[in-house]
Amino acid sequence: MADSRTQVAIVGGGPVGLGLAVELGQRGVATTVVEKTPEIHRIPKGQNLTQRTMEHFRSWGIDAAIRAARVMPPAYPAVGVNAYGNLMSEYAHPWFRRSDVDSFYFAANERLPQYATEAILRKRGGALEHVDTRFGLSAIGVDQDGDRAYVTTSREVIEADYVVGCDGSRSLVREHAGIGETRSDHDRRMVLLVFRSRQLHDILDGRFGHAAFFNVLHPELDGYWRFLGTVDAAENWFFHAPVPPTATADNVEAGALLRAAVGVDVAMEVDYIGFWDLRIAIAETYQQGRIFVAGDAAHSHPPYGGYGINTGLEDARNLGWKLAAVLKGWAPARILDSYSEERRAVFASTARDFIESFIENDRVFVAHHNPDINKEDFEKAWGTRRAGSTRAVNVFEPHYEGSRLVFGPAGGESSAVGSHTMTARAGHHLPPSDEGLFDMLGYDFCLVTGADNDADAFITAADILGVPLTVARVSDKALSDYQTSMILVRPDHYVVWTGDRAAGADAEAVLRRATGT
> Computed from CA positions of residues 7, 13, 16, 21, in that sequence, does the dihedral angle turn out positive or negative?
positive
pLDDT average, residue stretch 17-27: 99
Q: What are the residues whose beta carbons fall under 8 Å from the beta carbon of 355, sequence distance 6 or more?
A: 280, 301, 302, 304, 305, 307
Choose the final residue of a domain: 318, 350, 382. 350
Q: Is the model's pLDDT at 112 over the cut of 90? A: yes
What is the CB neighbour count within 10 angstroms for residue 367?
11
Choose the final residue of a domain: 350, 384, 405. 350
Instruction: Give the domain CATH number at 150.
Output: 3.50.50.60
Q: Is the model's pLDDT at 98 over the cut of 90? A: no
Are 309 and 435 in the same domain? no
In the chain, the amino acid numbered 115 is Y
Are 49 and 154 in the same domain? yes
Are 346 and 425 in the same domain? no
- Whether residue 224 is contained in a domain is answered as no
Q: Which residues span the domain enclosing 164? A: 4-73+109-182+281-350
Mean pLDDT of the chain: 96
Q: Which of 118, 21, 12 is nearest to 323 (CA)?
A: 21
Are 48 and 161 in the same domain? yes
**Residue 376 burial by Cβ neighbours in a 10 Å radius (0-12, 13-18, 19+):** exposed
Give the CA dihedral 174, 179, 184, 190, nearest 10 degrees.
Answer: 10
Are 345 and 436 in the same domain? no
Fill in the DSSP letter of residue 42: -
pLDDT average, residue stretch 274-290: 97
Instruction: Give the domain CATH number at 493.
Output: 3.40.30.120
- Whether residue 99 is contained in a domain is answered as no
What pLDDT does 178 receive?
A: 98
| CA 120 – CA 69 distance, rounded (Å) | 9
- Whether residue 57 is contained in a domain is answered as yes
Q: Is the model's pLDDT at 504 over the cut of 80? A: no
- Whether residue 27 is contained in a domain is answered as yes
Are 318 and 433 in the same domain? no
Are 344 and 430 in the same domain? no
| CA 438 – CA 92 distance, rounded (Å) | 38
Q: Mind giving me the DSSP string for 93-148?
A: EEE--GGGGGGGSSS--EE--HHHHHHHHHHHHHH-TTEEEEET--EEEEEE-SS-
What pLDDT does 77 receive?
A: 80
Q: Give the confidence band of 78 by pLDDT, cuts at 50, 70, 90.
A: confident
What pLDDT does 175 receive?
A: 98
- Whether residue 303 is contained in a domain is answered as yes
**Alpha carbon distance, N-terminus to C-terminus of the chain:** 34
Q: Strand (E) positions, 176-315?
A: 181-196, 213-217, 226-230, 236-243, 269-283, 287-288, 291-293, 299-300
Are 343 and 427 in the same domain? no
219 in helix, strand or coil? helix
**CA-to-CA dists, residue 173 to 50, 166, 177, 327, 342, angstroms:** 28, 8, 6, 21, 21
| CA 463 – CA 35 distance, rounded (Å) | 40
Choose the final residue of a domain: 331, 350, 369. 350
Are 307 and 446 in the same domain? no
Q: Is the model's pLDDT at 188 over the cut of 80? A: yes
- Whether residue 234 is contained in a domain is answered as no
Q: Is the model's pLDDT at 503 over the cut of 80? A: no
CB 161 within 8 A of CB 325: no
In terms of phi and psi (left: phi > 0; alpha: psi -120 to 50; beta: otherwise), the region of 435 is: beta
Q: Is the model's pLDDT at 1 over the cut of 80? A: no
- Whether residue 256 is contained in a domain is answered as no
Burial call 418-446: b when 16+ CB within 10 Å, e when fewer? bebeeebbbbbbbbbbbeebbeebbebbb
Are 428 and 344 in the same domain? no
- Whether residue 259 is contained in a domain is answered as no
What pLDDT does 108 receive?
A: 94
Q: Count how many domains the chain has.
A: 2
What pLDDT does 76 receive?
A: 80
Q: Give the confidence band of 384 by pLDDT, cuts at 50, 70, 90.
A: very high
User: Measured over all CA atoms, what is the biggest interatomic distance in the chain, rounded to whole angstroms?
Assistant: 74
What pLDDT does 439 receive?
A: 96
What's this model's pTM, rounded to 2 decimal places?
Answer: 0.97
